[in-house]
Chain A
Amino acid sequence: MRHALFLLLALTWACAAGSARPARVAGAAPAPAQAPAPAKQASGEASSVDRPQYPSTYQRHTGRPVLIRNATIMTAAGQEIPNGSIVLAAGRIVAVGAKVDAPADAVVVDGTGKYVTPGLIDEHSHLGVYAAPGTDAESDGNEATNPVTAEVWAEHSFWPQDPQIPLAIAGGITTIQALPGSANLIGGRSAILKLIPARTVQEMKFPGARYGLKMACGENPKRVYGQKGGPSTRMGNMAGYRGAYIQAEGYRRKWDKWNKDHQGDPPERNLKLETLAEVLRGGIYVQNHCYRSDEMAQMLDLGREFGFPIRSFHHAVEAYKIRDLLAAAGTGAAVWADWWGFKEEAMDGIKENAALLQQAGVRVNIHSDSPSGIQRLNQEAAKAMYAGIRAGIPVTRDQAIRWVTANPAWAIGLDSLIGTLEPGKVADVVVWSGDPFSVYSRAVQVYNDGWLVYDRNDPAHQPRTDFQLGQTPGPGSDR
């Protein structure tokens, strides 16, 4: 349910993401192929720059191997295998196919009539930063105190006890990008998180994932800052981004020089510029809230001016109008199936957006930006797929499942690890009661890194947050 006021508020304040990660990557898990290489630890740890920066403390839950058999396996890698099987062991997919060898001690799951997909990935979520129950006290998504707040990190707002998290897990989500809101031109770093019950955000941080940087175009920044010193126009927005990156260029030069020669004291750290400089170095992806096609074209030019690509446009309701430009730039597009009209820059949304982007070769994904929508990304992908097919725009089932798996994995730089069901990939797996593109299907089991984090038929695997204890009546109870 989207209450009108809530929706307006959410749209006003949410909707934007981005993050960036410094070159130092801590944590025990393997780094993805694209992640920046860990920098050498300077001996003696003379200052903060030499220490690991806010590492992941994620640890895989150990357990027996799992064999899911007789299911329809949608690999998101080109295959839909009827009566197929998949084996998970030690947090990895070890076998997928019509016939597989399973370890003798494997837990056997009968998948008859069921479907198996990769864990779903939401490239655009505000879970944890705009937590339920939705009070001011939990409103931590927009540091709306300055149009450029590249220094803030979504993970420092993220509340692991947000009761919306188990709801999203029950919808088959295994990884999210949690983003700052869209009040600011540059809103801060995103957090790439494994969606699991946890006490701290550090336990959820995807090991080795690089940060994104949330940037926002259009109506929101100029509305928020129009009476607070600006920007108050779209041209002011552009000047704001450019000014920030010009500063970052100088900062980057100073640090790159010092990192090379270590002559004298290191330059003073500046958190804002540290993040922006990392964007310039390519270590942080730009995740850009941008609705209108003409503005997306401006942002592509901005990226060219400073030498960084835009990884992905979010809420790109007009992306279909410039799908050729996006394809040429190699920039992805994160879209809704059918949201439109809640503000002027959203007026031209059409249901065939994703299909047209797919046809043009753009890496498109379906994102939620919503604690409700994140619970049914599969349904939103289905709507967008069938809207395309009905309009005569070909979309395959494999392409559509990639919209909520492999493509968002690419957008957050983790496509070598997650997003498909292939041997060697992380065992993020959803078992569905039926075709995930049917309105009647639901996730029945969700495995995150091989850990059964949700089982619709087993209350022992239906995590509840601390928040929910003692105040939510249990199913069927009359208090």
Chain B
Amino acid sequence: MIALLLAQTIAITGGTVYPVSGPKVANATVLIRDGKIVAVGAGVTTPSGAARIDATGKWVTPGLIDGAGQLGLVEIGAVPGTREGFLRGDTIAAAFNVAEGLNPASMLIPVTRIEGVTTALATPLGNLVAGQAVLIDLAGNTIEEMLVKSPVGIVADLSESGKNEAGGSRAGVADRLRRAFRDALLYERRRADFNRAQMPPLPESPPDLEALLPMLHGQEALIANANRRSDIETALRLAREFKLKLVLAGAQEAWQIAAELARADVPVLVEPLDNIPSYDALGVRYENAGLLAKAGVKIALLETDTHNSRNLRQEAGNAVAYGMSWEQALRAVTLSPAEIFGVADRYGSLEAGKVANVVVWSGDPFEFTTGVEHVLIRGKETPLKSRQTELLERYRKLPPNY
């Protein structure tokens, strides 16, 4: 029995540990037992019988968290049969929780996790209210095993694309959302009357109205896609009116009102390598993340290209090149997203008691020279294999080894 328990104890020793919650510690040990971190520090002794990962000369960080994309919800972008993130025919799809669309066997999951991203937000797409986003670990044989938190929040589209669902005007977007929120509150007050058909039916379905209520009571976040400054300000207005816990996503022109966002304590999900102007945001620029960080806004960095969520570290490196400090950028791909998504008690840093999502890197995680050496998800070491590594081995020598 003791041997069995010890087998589940892993000590990562000798590395430079970046706990994120505190300053880096040289030559430190991260001790992991039963999927949790039990100790972090320079003076931690390794129990005899613990499996040991020698991280001498390496960098040790929490697993990265990508707060965007459709990991588990898409296999091949151009093949509709493999896409699960969009619910047709429901403008206010608040009850649409993507969890049961997740595919734990997705090929994208190993491709992503072997490069240090261990946790990701799986987000619904489209519609005015797209549905409920969930947070997943990139491990597990079942949906239940993957889920970290469900739901994390309700996703709504206050950007240009949301207009299609609201009559073609930004004013229509705000009005339609406001009416849906009011309808939900009305439904809550007079549920019995609606159920007895003593009230005329509302445009939203009862399940969608029910699903909006936790958000309207501040228990869940509203994750609002908005890019133009005026749309961001509309999201802030709605949040004030309904006392919402607002998270901004995209937020291409957020840098223009960084101080106001800091004052309002609204966190922002930003993709650093985002600077192609559109009429949705002519002011989009690489410095967005840096300027927001400088103003004190809480930021999580994104890689929105699901198949290349692994490039989150490149996004973070570029955020540094365009104004964030390195420490801010590391926090923005670990502890800050954990805080924004409400799981910082379990995720985002290397501290005793937290889930053992840990990555050992050959160097600075943001640099191209750096490779991933070990990935642990929930305390279990993940083999660094994917369909892509199998393709490489098959074709490493020609003719291929069929």
Partner-B contacts on A (CB < 8 A): 1-5, 7-8, 11-12, 132-135, 163-164, 167, 219, 320-321, 323-324, 338-344, 347-352, 356, 371-372, 375-376, 379, 382-383, 385-386, 390-391, 437-442, 468, 471-473, 475, 477-479
Contact = CB atoms under 8 A, between A and B. Distances in A.
A108 B287 CA distance: 30
A1 to B, nearest CB: 3
A4 B77 contact: yes
B367 interface: yes
A2 B304 contact: yes
Interface stretch (B16-24, B58-66, B272-280): B272-280
A5 B161 contact: yes
A439 B368 contact: yes
Nearest to A223: B78
Interface residues of B, number: 52
B318 interface: yes
B338 to A, nearest CB: 22
Nearest to B283: A473
A438 B368 contact: yes
17 contacts: A1-B250, A1-B302, A2-B305, A132-B277, A133-B278, A164-B276, A320-B395, A341-B77, A343-B77, A344-B79, A350-B388, A386-B368, A386-B371, A438-B367, A440-B317, A471-B282, A472-B277
Contacts of A342: 76-78, 307
B398 A324 contact: yes
A473 B254 CA distance: 12
B246 interface: no
B304 A3 contact: yes
A440 B321 contact: yes
Contacts of B250: 1
B308 interface: yes
A1 B273 CA distance: 6
Contacts, number: 134
A7 B307 CA distance: 11
B277 A341 contact: no
Binding site secondary structure of chain A: loop
B400 interface: yes
B198 to A, nearest CB: 42
B78 to A, nearest CB: 4
B391 interface: yes
A372 B276 contact: yes
B274 A1 contact: yes
A131 to B, nearest CB: 10
A324 B400 CA distance: 12
Contact of A352 (B70, B161, B311, B392): B392
A385 B279 CA distance: 37
B76 A1 contact: no
Contacts of B271: 1
Given A4-B77, A472-B277, A439 B304 contact: no
B275 A167 contact: yes
Given A1-B273, A4-B70, A371-B276, A341 B76 contact: yes
Nearest to A384: B368
Contact of B283 (A344, A438, A472): A472
